[in-house]
Amino acid sequence: MLTQREKMNVVIIEGLDRIARVVAERIASVIRSKATEGAQAVLGLATGSTPLGVYRELIRMHREEGLDFSNVVTFNLDEYFPMDPGSMHSYHRYMWENLFDHVNIRRENVHIPRGDIPKHEVDEHCRAFEEAIVQAGGLDFQLLGIGRTGHIGFNEPGSGPGSRTRLIFLDTLTRRDAAGDFFGEDNVPVEAITMGVGTILEAREIVLMATGEHKAKIVQRAVEGPVDPDVPATYLQGQPNVTVYLDPPAAAELTRIKTPWLVGEVEWTREREVEAVAWLSEQVGKSILRLGERDYRDQHLSSLVARYGSAPRLNGEVFNALIAKIRGKSKLPREKRIVLFSPHPDDDVICTGATLHKLQGNDNQIVIAYQTSGNIGVVDDELRRYSELMRRVGRAFQIRDSALDELPEKIERFLADKAPDQVDIPEVQELKRAIREAEAVAALETLRLQPSQARFLNLPFYRTGEAKKNPIGERDVEIVVELLEEMRPEIVFVAGDQADPHGTHRKCKEAIDRALARYSGPSPEVWLYRGAWEEWPVDEASVFVPMSEEELRLKILAVFKHESQRDKVPYASPGDRDIWQRVEERNRGTAATLERLGLPAYFAMEAFVVERDGQRLENPAVPTSSLGAEAHERSTKAARPAKSKT
């Protein structure tokens, strides 16, 4: 019953690595089955960050289990146009570097649309590509991802269910999402060659993978919504050979996850009760304490009211549970050892700036650990400004240093001839790193922290000079372990989102998780924050930290210190909003949601999920000895409904 609204077979698995192993095993099964029959396995393959784990697992199977690719034929979904096959952005290069170079596939069996042919030859090339699929016997297995527009391959909104391989214009959102890989949206090709929807649907088995909270809404639309040309992934509905693999964040908007009481029996936990009552409050437009029994009955929640005997008693329980999560300065940790891990040199202030300021005022011993340099996020125009500054400083102070004299010239010569896909020379990478570090220190000082509280870990996995990063390695983990052993933190703040475009946040969390598993000290409390793209839903958050208008202004001033990351970097701020505008919208939006639920009205809020040893803490320990804490407790009691006994 829980899956009755889902029009595809959906499997939810915790962790991208586990999903990758399951999908790789399914592909290996197809290869082995075909080999037993004496036939070739014909695979349709995808690119992007999501399938990388699948390809790594297939390589492992080839090396350790003898998985044979000699009789495998592959057809890739798409390629940018125009695109040099040797470019770092080319899907030709992606596939050879991430799979084909590491297995025994025959070169003649690899088919990838070409982006390096004259435009007048594209139509014939597409027809030949389709004919090659037919001659190979059709696709036995097709691997897919899903874009935020609902595209599969590069079949953008408006693509028809019978479409074939063709040249297509890319949607603005698709190009914006790709901008980080191309160092700016202007460098993203406006066209691509893509396998058509009709070709994909003819595959004998189709697997779609999606991970991260930023995919949740489009996944729900694709799986549960009506078939719609504006969401090409909906064409997969009703196909008996389709399986969708999701991690929990990507599945968060599915009915069975978000509102399971609408489709079946529910095992009521306190977390689920809060979720249901908060949803009902928003659904009917009433504050929690004003919800009546008819509101519950009309929205299939009679069983929940029955547990408490009356709506007022239930309302009071949930109201009190939510208000207990609000933690002003007096209810935040005091005199603790805290390490705040920031994947990039701005995530700390963007996501936790107000909380960080309050914690500093509570006499905590705080270290901000910036895990990567973030240097690829600095555009070249910004670098030219600093290069000119170096030259002028040398002249103004009559600094006689040949290296300092030559460095601006070398940087400017490189930038003058730099191709859009060219990796920066070491000097440019180091200067961009220095820019990010200086901005991070300036932001901390805005929040009244000291420069000495910043640690720049510069984890090796990030040091590729490209948007594509290496897997987390042993040294990455060792660096984090060393900091943990030095600080012996009682609390660590970690970016817990899975939505950042390049996977850096996910990899940084992996390094921390692996380090904590080796750490010799007591398990710290882990406060998970979400990055610049999404915020924790009200029902999921363990702690809300309120802020005044002045505190939000201070936080935004700290964000402004990251000048190289503001509207000069379009891919860092999707849409027409600058980073600070998204920060304000998100923090004020959280406060507004709680106000609609009937809780005290605050100007803005930051939200966190708190865990220990991987288990969520609904009521983390808080100091209670201060006068401020007692005053807050009195105000909380005053806000409780008269009928509530809790």
Cα–Cα dist 21/15, whole Å: 10
> What is the token pair recorded at 234?
């909906």
Helix intervals (H) in 362-425: 380-396, 402-417
**How many CA atoms lie less than 13 Å away from 204 in the CB half-sphere?**
13
Please name the residues in contact with 4: beta carbons below 8 A apart, sequence gap of 6 or more. Answer: 263, 264
Structure confidence at residue 392 (pLDDT): 86
Contacts of 517 (CB under 8 A, 6+ apart): none
Q: Which residues lie closer than 8 Å to 196 by C-beta, 6 or more apart?
A: 153, 155, 159, 162, 163, 164, 165, 166
**DSSP states along 244-289:** EEE-TTTTTTSHHHH-GGGTS-----HHHHHHHHHHHHHHHT--GG
Mean pLDDT, range 470-486, rounded to an integer = 96
Confidence label for 285 from pLDDT (cuts 50, 70 and 90):
very high
Residue pLDDT, tens place only, 483-514:
999 999 999 999 987 666 568 998 999 999 99
Q: Provide, for the chain, the percentages of residues in helix, strand and coil under a 3-state DSSP scheme, each rounded to the nearest 5.
A: 50, 15, 40
Looking at per-residue pLDDT, the higher value among 576 and 156 belongs to: 156
**Model confidence at 582: pLDDT above 50:** yes
- pLDDT, residue 183, reads 72
Q: Which fold has domain 329-378+441-638?
A: Rossmann fold (3.40.50)
Q: In degrees rounded to 5, what are phi and psi of residue 41?
A: -90, 130
> Exposed/middle/buried for 108, CB within 10 Å: 0-12, 13-18, 19+?
exposed
Q: Which residues pair with 128 in a beta bridge?
A: none
The C-alpha angle 403, 409, 414, rounded to 5 degrees, equals: 115
562 neighbors 349 (Cβ within 8 angstroms): yes
Over residues 330-347, the pLDDT tens digits come to 999 999 999 999 999 999
Q: What is the pLDDT of residues 367-412, one digit of tens each?
A: 999 999 999 888 888 888 888 888 888 888 888 777 777 888 899 9
Mean pLDDT across 116-131: 97
Q: What is the pLDDT of residue 140?
A: 98
Residue 571: pLDDT over 70: no
The answer to whether residues 130 and 165 touch, using CB atoms and an 8 Å cutoff, is: yes
User: 59: which residues sit within 8 A by CB, 6+ positions away?
Assistant: 99, 102, 103
* Catalytic-role residue among 57, 79, 156, 510: 156
For the question of residue 156 being annotated catalytic, the response is: yes
Range scoring the smallest mean pLDDT among 295-304, 407-416, 520-529: 407-416
The residues, any chain, with a CB within 8 Å of residue 614's CB and separated by 6 or more, are none
Q: Please give the order of strands across the beta sheet that includes 110-111.
A: 9-12, 242-246, 206-210, 141-144, 41-45, 72-76, 110-111
89-93, 621-625, 633-637: least confident range:
633-637
pLDDT tens for residues 434-461? 999 999 999 999 999 999 999 999 999 9
Measure the CA–CA gap between 561 and 583, rounded to whole angstroms.
14
d(CA 604, CA 354): 10
Residue 139 has pLDDT above 80, yes or no: yes
* For residue 587, pLDDT beyond 60: yes
The CA angle 461-463-466, to the nearest 5 degrees, is 105
The chain-wide mean pLDDT, for the chain, equals: 90
Residue 567's pLDDT is 58
Q: How many CB atoms lie within 10 A of CB 475?
A: 12
Of the candidates 554, 540, 541, 525, the one whose C-alpha atom is nearest the C-alpha of residue 606 is 541
Residues facing 143 on adjacent strands = 207
pLDDT at 106: 97
- Mean pLDDT lowest among 112-121, 293-302, 435-444, 625-634: 625-634
Per the structure block, which two tokens stand in for 411?
């940087």
pLDDT in tens, 356-369: 999 999 999 999 99
Phi, psi values for residue 182, rounded to 5°: -105, 10
Q: How far, in Å, CA of 544 to CA of 594, rounded?
A: 10
For the chain, the farthest-separated pair of C-alpha atoms sits apart, in whole angstroms, at 83
**Residue pLDDT, tens place only, 44-87:** 999 988 899 999 999 999 999 999 999 999 999 999 999 999 99
Q: With 60 as the cut, is the pLDDT of residue 573 above it?
A: no
- What is the pLDDT at residue 9? 96
Give the per-residue pLDDT at 646. 31
Distance CA 31, CA 338 (A): 50
Rounded mean pLDDT, 40-46: 98
Q: Where in the chain is the domain with CATH 3.40.50.1360?
A: 10-256
Residue 243: predicted pLDDT: 98
Residues of the chain with pLDDT > 90, as a percent, come to: 74
CA dist., res. 479 & res. 308, Å (int): 51
Question: Is 455 strand, coil or helix?
Answer: strand
Whether 562 shows a pLDDT value over 80: the answer reads yes
Question: What is the distance between the alpha carbons of residues 498 and 209, in angstroms, rounded to a whole number?
Answer: 14
Where does the chain hold its CATH 3.40.50.10320 domain(s)? 329-378+441-638
Q: What is the DSSP string of 211-233?
A: -SGGGHHHHHHHHHS--BTTBGG
pLDDT at residue 14 in the model: 92
The answer to whether the beta carbons of residues 461 and 408 sit under 8 Å apart is no
Q: Which CATH number among 3.40.50.720, 3.40.47.10, 3.40.50.1700, 3.40.50.1360 corresponds to the domain 10-256?
A: 3.40.50.1360
